Chains A and B, each alone.
Chain A
Amino acid sequence: MLSRVAESLFWMSRYVERAENTARFLEVNFNLLLDLNDITEIDHPNYWSPLIRVTGDPANFTERYAEYNAHTVTDYLVFNRQNSFSINSSIGLARENARSIIDSISSEMWEQVNNLYHFLQSVTPQQVHNDPFSFYREIKNASHLFQGITDNIFSRTEEWDFIQIGKYLERADNTARLIDVKYHMLMPKEGREHDPVLDSFDTIQWMAVLKSCSALEAFRKVYLSKIDPENILWFLVLDRTFPRSIAFSVCAAQEALWRISGSSRHRYANNADRLIGKMEAELSYTSVEDMYRKGLHYYLEEIEIGLNRIGEQIHLLYFAYHTPKIEPHDIAEALPFTGLAGGRANWSQSQQQQQ
């Protein structure tokens, strides 16, 4: 398979997953605010600024908006094309990647990404504000439909594996970020008085965290109604059966990487396999205690950094173009060597007139 095709498959899948996760963050926040309506004021910046922290770049946000509230944060995370994490940007990029490999994916997959793109173009901010739940459900469903179509009709080839890697690395990263934002809540609190109001307030927030991973019901099956921070952490980070947990996602990505390289347990073929194997092993033998001991924020940050490294290695290994060694006689024969052409094909150049 062409490296470029592998890269586009990876990013197409990754961007669709990213859009879904952004939709989840926003949907849950709205849910949460409805629950808290009695207790506090819903447009309070404290409820909106964490969303910007999850998705990356608060400085980029404050440059463009005066304050954090439902309107500005929704606008930034859904519509703003300057924000590369917005749903609009993600789907736009997913579509562009899909378009560039339209001959390698099934037409149903392309149609689904294309439909989602056109749906987004047709939605106005006012519509989202009036009925956020329908909108976010639409995005989530569209993402599920895309992965479902892929699941059902795409051959289990190397192409498929790159799609899986993109999806699960993005998901693991998002789950880590989501917990990270709420980590101050999930840390054991020492010396605080038992306060029924604050406790119920916390419970609602924890439930929101679970809901944003669609994990509440799955969690309840395991822990019944015992919603406490340790169980939640264990479930979202270490559980091996829930498909949005970090451990599950890392494990799924690892399997796909192994299928591509032919690695197996104890035998890694390359650096990407080594790093993901290490992370997977650590997740297997970590306890919630360990996380607390390390500091939850620090622990999650390490996972995020680790995932980034794995991404870099995949890039170097499969996508980056190995520049071949240039033999001296080539240079003597050719005109002056100005380096290899690379990068995105230039927009204006690709518009040659067609006969």
Chain B
Amino acid sequence: MISLFERYDACPNRFFDEVLAPDGKPRGHYDKMVHRFGQFSLDDIRTRRQIVNIFFRNQGITFTVYGVEEGIERIFPFDLIPRIIPSHEWANIEKGLIQRITALNEFLADIYSNQKILKDRVLPAELVLGSKHFRREFVGIKPPLGVYIHVTGSDIIRDADGHYLVLEDNLRTPSGVSYMLQNRQALKRAFPVLFDRYKVRPIDNYPQELLRTLQEISPTSRPEPNVVLLTPGIYNSAYFEHSFLARQMGVELCEGRDLVVNNNKVYTRTTRGLQRVDVIYRRVDDDYLDPLVFRPDSKLGVAGLINAYRKGNVALANAIGTGVADDKVIYSFVPKIIRYYLGEEPILDNVDTWLASNPKDLKYILENLEKLVVKAANESGGYGMLVGPESTLEERERFAEKIVANPRNYIAQPTISLSRHPSFFNDSDLGGCHIDLRPYVLYGKSPTIVPGGLTRVALKRGSLVVNSSQGGGSKDTWVIDE
């Protein structure tokens, strides 16, 4: 066994360790990497750590933490040890995700047109139509190519047996892809030697793929469709990502006030007058998109945008109303949705889910709160959740009241001990940290996935929450050809 890993305890009885097999030996695809890390001294690690920190700070790769009076900018913590996914496992993830996204897209197309799935009583209509993110206004409107979810980032975890499970489908405005790209750059800079014995599949073409996807959904026949990226502005926690992607794609980064609608067409306001826009990659939530249709107090949106969209003069990625399909209540029906639309068995499994709206489940939830993770159906980013085993009695009681008051809004899942991956707590101490995986699926003419994704890691000792707003970090993620 090798120096850095000597003191590392994988706890094989309690967790699935990504790197070490239960017998304490590195898994085949990690063998060379463990060996490499064994050759580094602590000084080496410290030097590389500094290279990485400077890289991130100079690039301004920070995110903003909310909840304090003024946003605080932090560097998104990056862990030096990459996560490796062998190609046969990846092939399965890829197939499973494409199946899932295809089915979810069919589902959206259906509930925004004939609602056949509701008529066939596969899903309770009240759960779909009553979802906070169901947009009644868009029933009967068909987006270009019939595609609703152009960019998605499903969260995948591994349980104690190493099975890949889908935890959430993020179908609205998933973020984090810039970290996926920058992590690779940072690691290449800090540890070029790590790469020399692995065939790591490249991910750098993501921005080009994204641009191609966006151009494919242009509703107009103009030869060079004008694509813009719509950001809520510099105070948004993902602003860095918005500017990064705009720069990488070579498209204009717009705020709502840069766009104007005239005669149901969308234009950018430029120093040379108005210029027509064909496709908007919007990173603004539905609620804020158009003050005439949604929240009238929104200052982030564009008045008239929705009418232009309805008229088919502009495409939005993602389409409006996709949130209904990543509602955590609807999530529990995804296996049924896959069977219904595709006639196939789901390749990737769901995490068991209890719905508080179902009286039998509600009883179970309330009786087992200390064992469960309870989530609000429509929140994201780790907000509005209760992690049972880590909560106090008082917190549980308060949460129980909320659940009873609004059962439709809550679901519960067993506390899954996410797989662990050795990570640096500091420069000398290697510890097992829980991780997840967020691959990004692009869907224009057909769904595609860049091989890799963002591996988020819970760097707080023992924590299960990997969200950046809750102290999580990330790792470079390698899909390798063996």
Q: Which residues in A have some Cβ–Cβ distance to B below 8 Å?
A: 1-4, 6, 96, 99-100, 102-103, 107, 110-111, 114, 158, 260, 318, 321-327, 330, 333-347, 349-355
Q: CB-CB < 8 A to B291: which residues of A? A: 338, 341
Let me know if B235 and A350 touch, CB within 8 A.
yes
Q: A103-B253, A338-B296, A341-B302 are in contact. Are A158 and B271 (CB under 8 A)?
A: yes
Q: CB-CB < 8 A to A4: which residues of B? A: 254-255, 257-258, 269
Q: A110-B60, A337-B292, A347-B235 are in contact. Are A355 and B380 (CB under 8 A)?
A: yes
Tell me the bound Cα distance from A100 to B293 in angstroms: 27
Let me know if B271 and A350 touch, CB within 8 A.
no
Tell me the bound Cα distance from A81 to B10 in angstroms: 52
Q: CB-CB < 8 A to A352: which residues of B? A: 232, 236, 284-285, 288
The answer to whether the Cβ of B299 comes within 8 Å of any Cβ in the partner chain is: yes
From A100, A335, A354, B292 is in contact (CB under 8 Å) with A335
Q: A342-B257, A345-B235 are in contact. Are A103 and B247 (CB under 8 A)?
A: yes
Instruction: Tell me, rounded to whole Å, the shortest Cβ–Cβ distance linking A103 to chain B.
Output: 4
Q: Which of A6, A96, A343, A349 has the most CB of B within 10 A?
A: A349
Tell me the bound Cα distance from A350 to B299 in angstroms: 9
Q: CB-CB < 8 A to B383: which residues of A? A: 353
Closest B residue to A2 by beta carbon equals B258
What would be 22 A-B contacts, judged by CB atoms less than 8 Å apart? Answer: A1-B270, A1-B271, A2-B254, A3-B258, A96-B234, A103-B243, A103-B244, A107-B60, A260-B271, A322-B273, A324-B267, A330-B263, A338-B292, A342-B299, A344-B299, A349-B288, A350-B232, A350-B233, A350-B234, A350-B236, A350-B300, A354-B238
Closest B residue to A161 by beta carbon equals B271
Closest A residue to B256 by beta carbon equals A341
Tell me the bound Cα distance from A340 to B305 in angstroms: 11
Instruction: Tell me, rounded to whole Å, the shortest Cβ–Cβ distance linking B161 to chain A.
Output: 28
Let me know if A2 and B252 touch, CB within 8 A.
yes
From A99, A324, A355, B172 is in contact (CB under 8 Å) with A355
Complex interface bits, B7-51 against A, C-beta within 8 A gives 1, otherwise 0: 000000000000000000000000000000000000000000000
Tell me the bound Cα distance from A6 to B267 in angstroms: 17
Let me know if B271 and A6 touch, CB within 8 A.
yes
Q: CB-CB < 8 A to A345: which residues of B? A: 232-233, 235, 255-257, 299-300
Closest B residue to A342 by beta carbon equals B257
Let me know if A321 and B269 touch, CB within 8 A.
yes
The answer to whether the Cβ of B473 comes within 8 Å of any Cβ in the partner chain is: no
Closest A residue to B242 by beta carbon equals A103
Instruction: Tell me, rounded to whole Å, the shortest Cβ–Cβ distance linking A326 to chain B.
Output: 8
From B170, B232, B246, A103 is in contact (CB under 8 Å) with B246
Tell me the bound Cα distance from A1 to B302 in angstroms: 19
Tell me the bound Cα distance from A195 to B324 in angstroms: 87
Q: CB-CB < 8 A to A341: which residues of B? A: 256-257, 291, 298-303
Q: CB-CB < 8 A to B293: which residues of A? A: 335
Tell me the bound Cα distance from A206 to B222 in angstroms: 64
Complex interface bits, B39-83 against A, C-beta within 8 A gives 1, otherwise 0: 000000000000000000011100010100001000000000000
Q: CB-CB < 8 A to B235: which residues of A? A: 345, 347, 350-351
Closest B residue to A4 by beta carbon equals B258
Tell me the bound Cα distance from A114 to B243 in angstroms: 16
Q: CB-CB < 8 A to B381: which residues of A? A: 353-355
Q: A110-B60, A345-B257, A353-B383 are in contact. Are A330 and B237 (CB under 8 A)?
A: no
Q: A341-B291, A341-B301, A354-B175 are in contact. Are A324 and B262 (CB under 8 A)?
A: yes
Complex interface bits, B220-255 against A, C-beta within 8 A gives 1, otherwise 0: 000000000000111111110001101100001111
From B243, B268, B301, A2 is in contact (CB under 8 Å) with B268
Let me know if A107 and B59 touch, CB within 8 A.
yes
- Beyond the given A4-B257, A322-B273, A349-B298, could you list 19 further A-B residue pairs with CB under 8 A, ordered by the A residue number? A1-B271, A2-B270, A2-B271, A100-B234, A103-B243, A107-B60, A111-B58, A321-B260, A321-B269, A326-B262, A340-B260, A341-B299, A345-B235, A345-B299, A346-B300, A351-B232, A351-B236, A352-B236, A353-B379
Tell me the bound Cα distance from A256 to B148 in angstroms: 45
The answer to whether the Cβ of B416 comes within 8 Å of any Cβ in the partner chain is: no
Let me know if A322 and B269 touch, CB within 8 A.
yes
Let me know if B299 and A343 touch, CB within 8 A.
yes
Q: CB-CB < 8 A to B236: which residues of A? A: 350-352, 354
The answer to whether the Cβ of B264 comes within 8 Å of any Cβ in the partner chain is: yes
Let me know if B271 and A318 touch, CB within 8 A.
yes
The answer to whether the Cβ of B307 comes within 8 Å of any Cβ in the partner chain is: yes
Chain B interface: which size bin? 35 or more
Tell me the bound Cα distance from A235 to B104 in angstroms: 73
Let me know if B260 and A324 touch, CB within 8 A.
yes
Q: CB-CB < 8 A to B244: which residues of A? A: 103
Let me know if A351 and B237 touch, CB within 8 A.
yes
Q: CB-CB < 8 A to B238: which residues of A? A: 354
Q: Which of A96, A330, A334, A344 has the most CB of B within 10 A?
A: A334
Instruction: Tell me, rounded to whole Å, the shortest Cβ–Cβ distance linking A300 to chain B.
Output: 31
Q: A349-B300, A350-B233 are in contact. Are A355 and B252 (CB under 8 A)?
A: no
Tell me the bound Cα distance from A102 to B178 in angstroms: 15
Tell me the bound Cα distance from A100 to B254 in angstroms: 10
Closest A residue to B173 by beta carbon equals A355
Interface residues of B in 409-458 (CB under 8 A from A): none
Q: CB-CB < 8 A to B237: which residues of A? A: 351, 354
The answer to whether the Cβ of B207 comes within 8 Å of any Cβ in the partner chain is: no
Closest A residue to B268 by beta carbon equals A2
Tell me the bound Cα distance from A347 to B272 in angstroms: 29
The answer to whether the Cβ of B174 comes within 8 Å of any Cβ in the partner chain is: yes
The answer to whether the Cβ of B274 comes within 8 Å of any Cβ in the partner chain is: yes
Tell me the bound Cα distance from A344 to B258 in angstroms: 11
Instruction: Tell me, rounded to whole Å, the shortest Cβ–Cβ distance linking A281 to chain B.
Output: 26
Tell me the bound Cα distance from A110 to B256 in angstroms: 23
Tell me the bound Cα distance from A355 to B59 in angstroms: 23
Tell me the bound Cα distance from A27 to B175 in angstroms: 47
Tell me the bound Cα distance from A1 to B267 in angstroms: 12
Instruction: Tell me, rounded to whole Å, the shortest Cβ–Cβ distance linking B155 to chain A.
Output: 9
Tell me the bound Cα distance from A346 to B301 in angstroms: 11
Tell me the bound Cα distance from A3 to B268 in angstroms: 9
Interface residues of B in 192-243 (CB under 8 A from A): 232-239, 243
Q: CB-CB < 8 A to A114: which residues of B? A: 60
Closest A residue to B248 by beta carbon equals A103
The answer to whether the Cβ of B143 comes within 8 Å of any Cβ in the partner chain is: no
The answer to whether the Cβ of B153 comes within 8 Å of any Cβ in the partner chain is: yes
Tell me the bound Cα distance from A110 to B243 in angstroms: 13
Instruction: Tell me, rounded to whole Å, the shortest Cβ–Cβ distance linking B311 to chain A.
Output: 9
Interface residues of B in 318-369 (CB under 8 A from A): 326
Closest B residue to A102 by beta carbon equals B243
From B175, B273, B303, B379, A337 is in contact (CB under 8 Å) with B303
Tell me the bound Cα distance from A114 to B293 in angstroms: 39
The answer to whether the Cβ of B472 comes within 8 Å of any Cβ in the partner chain is: no
Instruction: Tell me, rounded to whole Å, the shortest Cβ–Cβ distance linking B233 to chain A.
Output: 4
The answer to whether the Cβ of B312 comes within 8 Å of any Cβ in the partner chain is: no
Q: Which of A114, A327, A341, A343 has the most CB of B within 10 A?
A: A341
Closest B residue to A317 by beta carbon equals B271
Tell me the bound Cα distance from A96 to B239 in angstroms: 13
Instruction: Tell me, rounded to whole Å, the shortest Cβ–Cβ distance linking B230 to chain A.
Output: 11
Tell me the bound Cα distance from A107 to B243 in angstroms: 12
